[in-house]
Structure 1
Amino acid sequence: MVTPSWRDLRPETAVSGEVSGTTRYIDIFQVRQLHTLQRPLTETAYEMAFLISSQVMELYFGLLCHELARARREVVADDVPATLRTLRRSVGHLRALEATWESYADMTPLDWNPIKAKLGKGEASSVHSYMFRHLAFLLGQKSPEMLEPHRSTPLIHQGLHEALSAPSLYDEVLALLQRRGLSLPDSAVHRDFAEPYVARPEVEAAWVRVYHDESFADLRELGEALTQVADRFHRWTDAHLTVTMRTFGAKPGYAHTPAVGWLRDRLEQVVFPELWSARTTM
Structure 2
Amino acid sequence: MTTLDEQGHTGEAGRVTLSGGLEDEPQLDFPGPSTPYLDYHSIDVLLSLHHPRSDTPAEPTFYVLGQVKELLFQLLYRELCAVRELLDGGEVAQAVWTLRRTRRVIELLTETWDVLGTLAPTEFNAFREHLGQASGFQSYMYRMLEYVLGNKNASLARPHDTVPRVREQVQAALRAPSVYDAAVRLLARLGADIPAAVLERDAAQPYVPHAAVERAWAALYQAGPGDSMFELAEAMMDIAEGFGRWRALHLLTVERIIGAKSGTGGTTGAQWLRRAAEQRLFPELWSSRNLL
Residue identity in the other structure for 1:186: A
TM-score, normalisation: structure 2: 0.86
Identity %: 36
Instruction: Give the number of aligned pairs.
Output: 261
Please identify, of 44-53 and 100-109, the stretch whose mean Cα deviation from structure 2 is larger: 100-109
CA displacement, residues 210-258 of structure 1 (integer Å, 9 cap, x when unaligned): 0112598211110000000111111111111111111122222255320
1:51 correspondence with 2:63:
yes
Please identify, of 137-146 and 259-268, the stretch whose mean Cα deviation from structure 2 is larger: 259-268
1:263 correspondence with 2:247:
no
> Do the aligned partners of 2:217 and 2:288 also contact (CA within 8 Å) in 1?
yes
Q: Which residue of 1 aligns with 2:238?
A: 228
Q: Which residue of 2 aligns with 1:16?
A: none
Q: Which residue of 2 aligns with 1:3?
A: none
Within 2, Cα distance between the matches of 1:158 and 1:96? 29
Match of 2:93 among 72, 76, 81: 81
1:107-256 correspondence to structure 2 within 5 Å: 107-120=119-132, 122=133, 124-213=134-223, 217-253=227-263, 256=266
Within 2, Cα distance between the matches of 1:263 and 1:63? 23
Unmatched tracts of structure 2, length 5 or more: 1-31
Within 1, Cα distance between the matches of 2:97 and 2:208? 28
Q: What SS class does the counterpart of residue 256 from structure 1 fall into?
A: coil
* Residue 205 of structure 1: how far off its partner (Å): 0.6
Match of 2:113 among 82, 101, 124: 101
Within 2, Cα distance between the matches of 1:55 and 1:261? 25
CA displacement, residues 51-99 of structure 1 (integer Å, 9 cap, x when unaligned): 1111111000010011000000000000101101110110111111111
Within 2, Cα distance between the matches of 1:260 and 1:215? 39
Match of 2:46 among 34, 38, 44: 34
Q: Which has the larger radius of gyration?
A: 2
Within 1, Cα distance between the matches of 2:44 and 2:136? 26
CA RMSD of aligned residues (A): 1.6
TM-score, normalisation: structure 1: 0.88
Q: Which residue of 2 aligns with 1:23?
A: 35
